Amino acid sequence: MKPTVAPFPAARLRRMRQSPALRALARQNTLTVDDLIWPVFVMDGKDDETPVASMPGVVRRTVDRVAKVAKEAQLLGIPAICIFPYTGMAARTEDCAMAWDPDNLTNQAIRAIKDVAPDIAVMTDIALDPYNINGHDGFVENGEIVNDRTVAALVKMALAQAKAGADILGPSDMMDGRIGAIRTALEAEGHQNVTILSYTAKYASSFYGPFRDAVGASSALTGDKNTYQMDPGNSDEALRLVARDLAEGADMVMVKPGMPYLDICRRVKDTFGVPTYAYQVSGEYAMLQAAAQNGWLDGDKVMMESLLSFKRAGCDGILTYFAPAAAKLLNG
Ligand code: PBG
């Protein structure tokens, strides 16, 4: 579409900006509570929480307290919660068997949320890194992060989460073929209504640093994730990945990180027109919070402006640690 502009002074683009009423009428994009997915960190224990130092305002909570978060989400109108488990070094193994244990932290949290707030959509993370002794998303054999054996394990993990009652599975591992394998297994086991939000265009980013602290992966991780997560220089590859994941049975796709990759969000939405999400990741949250704490930025305002940027870029929703704060502002 070519923008049309009459010559000055017939066209004065400032006319439509002159009052709050005209600005409201002309506004193309808005953020609503419906757009938010709230990522929540779960840890072992009872009636407890601990702050995540590099993510001011974010805590890890025990399962019973996650149930309280679910009620809060319901009250605020936030449609979905995404669960991430914290595991210390002692709970990590080479075979990652805890990843598909029906009683692991994620599966306990899914059941706890469904007990108190069945209408909240529960999203999960599918990747081996919370349980892996070396912090990688896949099995490591002689220094290589192996694909196909990892996919078989991810399928077991996905089925355990579906059985626990998850509504949205979020494979974040970037192995090839995992969406198709998970979809086939879900269909075979009677979970045809479980949705998949694929972390499709997930970049090998340094903006994940605070998250790795939050889930206990920082000290575990050996090397980097460059052989499976995307190269930040690539854009066309994101479209190939989206086409591939949709063909394999993904219901929704995600771009991650968010703000530095808004161009990818826009290309994905324009090319495919499918439900598209962005993850405003831990490092993005941390930098905005740090500047706000220093008084360098107005925290509430940059939070809302940053979230609106995802809507403008074509996203249908945003995973963001700001979810409860943004919902409170939106609800007045
Ligand atoms: C791991 C996973 C990561 C995030 C979500 N799932 C980190 C990583 O790939 O190392 C990052 C989220 C964030 O930074 O907020 N599979």
DSSP letters along 122-145, please?
EE--B-STTTBTT--SS-EETTEE
Residue 94's identity, in one-letter code, is E
Distance 113 CA to ligand 1 centre (A): 22
| Best residue among 40, 129, 199 to mutate for probing ligand 1, ranked by most atoms within 8 Å of CB | 129
**pLDDT value at residue 218:** 80
DSSP secondary structure string, 186-203?
HHHTT-TT-EEEEEEEEB
Distance 90 CA to ligand 1 centre (A): 20
Catalytic annotation, residues: 202, 256
Q: What is the pTM of this model?
A: 0.97
Task: Look up residue 4 and give its two tokens.
Answer: 């049309």
CA distance 174 to 137: 8
Phi, psi angles (nearest 5°) of residue 125: -115, 130
CA distance 331 to 161: 32
Tell the residue number behind the tokens 């994009």, with chain if given: 29
Identify the CATH class of 33-330.
Answer: alpha beta
Of residues 73, 179, 160, the one with CA closest to residue 110: 160
Q: Is 221 in the pocket of ligand 1 (CB under 6 A)?
A: no
Q: Is 160 in the pocket of ligand 1 (CB under 6 A)?
A: no
* pLDDT tens digit at each of 332 positions of the chain: 788 889 999 999 999 999 999 999 999 999 999 999 999 999 999 999 999 999 999 999 999 999 999 999 999 999 999 999 998 888 899 999 999 999 999 999 999 999 999 999 999 999 999 999 999 999 999 999 999 999 999 999 999 999 999 999 999 999 999 999 999 999 999 999 999 999 999 999 999 999 988 888 888 898 999 999 999 999 999 999 999 999 999 999 999 999 999 999 999 999 999 999 999 999 999 999 999 999 999 999 999 999 999 999 999 999 999 999 999 999 99
**pLDDT value at residue 214:** 85
Q: Is 127 in the pocket of ligand 1 (CB under 6 A)?
A: yes
Tell the residue number behind the tokens 């989206």, with chain if given: 242
CA distance 66 to 113: 7
DSSP 138: S
**pLDDT value at residue 293:** 98
The Cα-based distances of 52 to 40, 279, 280, 282, 299 in angstroms read 12, 18, 17, 11, 18
Q: Is 125 in the pocket of ligand 1 (CB under 6 A)?
A: yes
**pLDDT value at residue 216:** 82
**pLDDT value at residue 200:** 98
**pLDDT value at residue 88:** 85
Beta bridge partner(s), residue 59? 51
Task: Look up residue 80 and give its two tokens.
Answer: 């979905």
Q: How many residues does the chain have?
A: 332
Pairing mode of beta strands 140-141, 144-145: antiparallel
Task: Look up residue 313 and give its two tokens.
Answer: 């870029």
